[in-house]
Amino acid sequence: MKYASRIYLCLIFSVLYIPIFTLILFSFNVENSTAEFAGFSLRWYIELFNSPETFTALRNTLLLAVLSALLSTVIGTAAAEGIYKMRSRFIKGAITSVTNIPMMNPDIVTGMSMMLFFAAVMGIFKISDYNEIGFAAMLIAHTTFCLPYVILSVLPRINELGDSLSEAALDLGCTPVSAFFRVKLPNIMPGVISGMVMAFTLSLDDFVISYFVGPTNFQTLPLLIYSMTKKKVTPDMYALSTIIIVSVFILLIISNIRSGKRADENKRKRGAVK
């Protein structure tokens, strides 16, 4: 029984990770072949960094991810605080459900509705070239679909914190605004940061919505890779994927270490209270 469970575990991990390792391996291949590994080289990495198209796409993707993560974090945190402050339990529940709908909604529906929306905007403002508002449209679209995730990550923190610290801050002379920034924000920061990281990664690997909303003059990496697969996949895409995988892996380790530290702190706190 013990062996069976181990074998099962190995099987799952091999299915999950063998394709990824193959991809990483072949990104270091000398030859343009997916069948045999002819020798180690950084050829495809060099080629990748020499291709201006890839580089622009990478820059676009990062720019969009950073901006939409920042925007959605600011708006989402404000929204979470607003939802927390609502008096009526009914409206509170209704608003929370409404903000959650975009998460359940298939991306393809969100993408299409966004596309229609921006087409309507072009019509109303008499804009003939979509490229003019393309970047703004992408930013709005990405911020919008990241928003519920930020709220989902921040709201429980705010609920958990309660009013006592804010009241103490007000009592000691803070205005409501400075009470939020001086006391509440630092104490919900872990939720805000994890919301931002989530928004960043969601924006980074979004394909479906970008496919519908993206203008021709602002291509992101997922869109570029997709357009390349229509021709022939070259190993420089493996190199790119490897870089992405490693980045995500590092990000994950960092966030795990952070939350591990936090768990320790909480344990200490609880111990101290007793």
Partner 1 sequence: MSKLIELKGISKSYDGEKVLEGINLYIRDKEFITLLGPSGCGKTTTLRIIGGFETADEGQLYFDGAEISDVPAYKRPINTVFQKYALFPHLNVYENIAFPLRLKKTPEAEIRERVTEMLKMVALSGFENKSVSTLSGGQQQRVAIARALISHPRVLLLDEPLGALDLKLRKDMQNELKSIQKAIGITFIYVTHDQEEALSMSDTIVVMADGEIQQIGTPTDIYNEPKNAFVADFIGESNIIDGVMLEDRKVRLEGHTFDCLDEGFGRGEPVDVVIRPEDVDVVKPEAGMLTGQVTAVTFKGVHYEIIVDIGGFKWMIQSTDYVAPEATIGLYIEPDAIHVMKKSKYSGKFGDYSSFSDELDQLSDADAAEEF
Determine the Cα–Cα distance for residues 11 and 14; give it in Å rounded to an integer: 5
Written as six digits, the tokens of 128 are: 């003939």
- Start-to-end Cα distance in the chain: 42
Of 182 and 258, which CB lies nearer to partner 1 in the complex structure? 182
Helix 52-85, helix 235-273: angle, nearest 10: 30
Written as six digits, the tokens of 154 are: 């921040």
Cα 60 to Cα 67, 132, 133, 235: the distances in Å are: 11, 16, 15, 22
Contact flag: residue 178 with partner 1 (CB under 8 A): yes
Written as six digits, the tokens of 155 are: 């709201």
Among 236, 245, 225, 228, smallest CA distance to 42 is for: 236
Contact flag: residue 187 with partner 1 (CB under 8 A): yes
Contact flag: residue 165 with partner 1 (CB under 8 A): yes
Least distance from partner 1 to the Cβ atom of residue 272, Å: 5
How many residues at the interface with partner 1, by CB under 8 A? Answer: 23
Least distance from partner 1 to the Cβ atom of residue 154, Å: 16
Contact flag: residue 86 with partner 1 (CB under 8 A): no
Least distance from partner 1 to the Cβ atom of residue 66, Å: 26
Least distance from partner 1 to the Cβ atom of residue 178, Å: 7
Of 231 and 269, which CB lies nearer to partner 1 in the complex structure? 269
Give the helix ranges, DSSP H, for the chain: 2-27, 43-50, 52-85, 89-104, 107-124, 130-161, 164-171, 176-179, 185-204, 208-213, 221-230, 235-273
Fill in the DSSP letter of residue 28.
Answer: T
Contact flag: residue 128 with partner 1 (CB under 8 A): no
Contact flag: residue 164 with partner 1 (CB under 8 A): yes
Least distance from partner 1 to the Cβ atom of residue 253, Å: 25
Contact flag: residue 265 with partner 1 (CB under 8 A): yes
Q: Which of 74, 174, 244, 251 binds partner 1 (CB under 8 A)?
A: 174
Of 175 and 227, which CB lies nearer to partner 1 in the complex structure? 175
Cα 224 to Cα 8, 32, 46, 179, 220: the distances in Å are: 37, 20, 18, 46, 6
Contact flag: residue 90 with partner 1 (CB under 8 A): no
Q: Which of 97, 186, 250, 261 binds partner 1 (CB under 8 A)?
A: 186
Q: Which of 59, 85, 262, 268 binds partner 1 (CB under 8 A)?
A: 268
Q: List residues binding partner 1 (CB under 8 A).
A: 164-165, 167-176, 178-179, 182-183, 186-187, 265, 268-269, 272-273
